[in-house]
Amino acid sequence: MYHVDSAKYNHGAHEVMDMHETLSTVIGGLDQCVLLRDQIQDPELRNMMDRQYQFCVDEYNTLVECFKTGRDPSQPTGHYQMTEDNKFTYGIKPGQPKKPITQASELNDEMISGYLLSSHKATATAKLAASLETTNPVVRRVLADSIPNCIEMAYEVSIYQNRKGYYQVPQLSSQDTVTITNCYDTMSNNQLQ
């Protein structure tokens, strides 16, 4: 077996391929923001996309740096701070059925915010999968530290969508919710024998 003693090449094959997939997913999301930004009608959505885009660019650069060098990045992973509150409106109102668009002119803020949400979900999934296969401890830590940021950005988008009526949140009946939440109980922390 050939051994390279440099941290720069301290990557396993699964890690390299998963990082390739992860970085490609991040690039796809960033490219999508560039392509869709000028189509946004709501200044609030544009502002959210701009903040998230800049944060994601910084995080992408941090991830690329540590992947290339195998060492701690010069800029540590930040923590995304959303500006939305965390209030959701529950329930479903009837509306028009969804279907794919057939013309670019049909694009609207509901769709764009949906693409943004999907991008964050895909990126979180890719980063999680990559972090489970990563052998380089720095890259693994940077990946793991960045997953909560994807979650926070997706959450911010979903709150925005909910407030605008784009993202409806159904609920079970109170009785069913109580029944299911009470299906589980804590246990004592005894050691296995």
**149 lies in some domain:** yes
Residues 118 and 29: beta-carbon distance below 8 Å: no
Q: What is the mean pLDDT of residues 38-42?
A: 97
Residues 71 and 7: beta-carbon distance below 8 Å: yes
Residue 2 clears pLDDT 60, i.e. is over it: no
pLDDT of residue 9: 63
Q: Which of 37-46, 110-119, 149-158, 178-187 has the lowest mean pLDDT?
A: 178-187
Domain range for 130 is: 7-89+107-181
Residue 1 clears pLDDT 60, i.e. is over it: no
Give the integer Cα–Cα distance in Å for 10 and 91: 50
Look at the chain and report how many structural domains it folds into. Answer: 1
**157 lies in some domain:** yes
Coil, helix or strand for 182?
coil
**CATH, residue 121:** 1.20.1260.10
Q: What is the pTM of this model?
A: 0.89
How many CA atoms lie within 13 Å of 5's alpha carbon, on the beta-carbon side?
A: 0
Coil, helix or strand for 164?
helix
